[in-house]
Amino acid sequence: MDEDAAWAQIVAGYGEEPQVPEGWPEPEDRSGSGATAPESPKNTGIPDIPRNFVIRAPRPGPRDYELSDDGDEGHFVPPEPPPLPPSDVTTKFAWIAVLGGPLLVLGFVLLQEPLPWWAMVLGIGGFLGGFATLVARMKNGDEDDDPHGGAVV
């Protein structure tokens, strides 16, 4: 049977109930006319449930847990963190130069103003000088403040 003939047969049978092959059970009436489903055949391997079978409510589990309204018992409140160590004036000015220099040049560019020589010197020189100051003031890896290397058991 070729494909065109199969499609023609499908289109010709559109809207009709399909024929049930011999030996197959009849389909249930789903029209809601009140017909009952046929009895299930015996020996299907599924045990019959007795009529006096009682379904008990499930026992409470972890999903049935509800929070009490007694307050915040056991709620962890972390301690206040220690204050930041005070920084010296040199470090503050170095950070201002590292961040402020490029922002000055960027401000002139965004406002489309001509960039004077002093703004260029302050922007580039401030960035380079602040960066060099911060790198020079970094701690060396040779200094061991902690004699244990950080791990304490």
Domain ranges of the chain: 89-136
Digit-coded pLDDT (tens) for 111-128:
999 999 999 999 999 999
* Through-space distance between the first and last CA atoms of the chain, rounded to whole angstroms: 82
Region of poorest pLDDT, from 24-28, 58-62, 70-74? 70-74
pTM above 0.75, yes or no: no
Give Cα 51 to chain centroid, integer Å: 49
**Confidence (pLDDT) at 75:** 73
Residues 6 or more apart whose Cβ sits within 8 Å of residue 119: 104, 105, 108
Digit-coded pLDDT (tens) for 63-79:
777 776 665 566 778 89
